[in-house]
Amino acid sequence: MGLGKVPRMIDTPRTRSAAHAYVDAAERRDWDAFAALLADDVIYDMPQSRERIRGKPAFLQFNREYPGDWHLEVRQIVADGRHAAAWLDSRVGDGSQPACVWIELSEEGLITKITDFWPESYDPPYDRSHLVERL
Which residues here bind its own copies, judged by CB under 8 A?
9, 12, 16, 45-54, 58-59, 61-62, 65, 67, 76-80, 83-85, 87, 98, 100, 102, 115, 117-126, 128, 131-135
Give SS3 for 119.
Answer: coil
C-alpha to C-alpha distance for 35 and 25, rounded to whole angstroms: 9
Query: Rounded to the nearest whole angstrom, what is the least distance from the CB of residue 21 to its own copies in the complex?
Result: 16
Instruction: Report, in angstroms and rounded to the nearest whole number, the Rg of the chain calculated over CA atoms.
Output: 17
Query: Rounded to the nearest whole angstrom, what is the least distance from the CB of residue 79 to its own copies in the complex?
Result: 5
C-alpha to C-alpha distance for 105 and 133, rounded to whole angstroms: 39
Query: Rounded to the nearest whole angstrom, what is the least distance from the CB of residue 18 to its own copies in the complex?
Result: 13
Closer Cβ to its own copies, 108 or 134, answer by number: 134
Closer Cβ to its own copies, 29 or 52, answer by number: 52
Q: Hey, CA dihedral for 98, 77, 46, 93, is it positive or negative?
A: positive
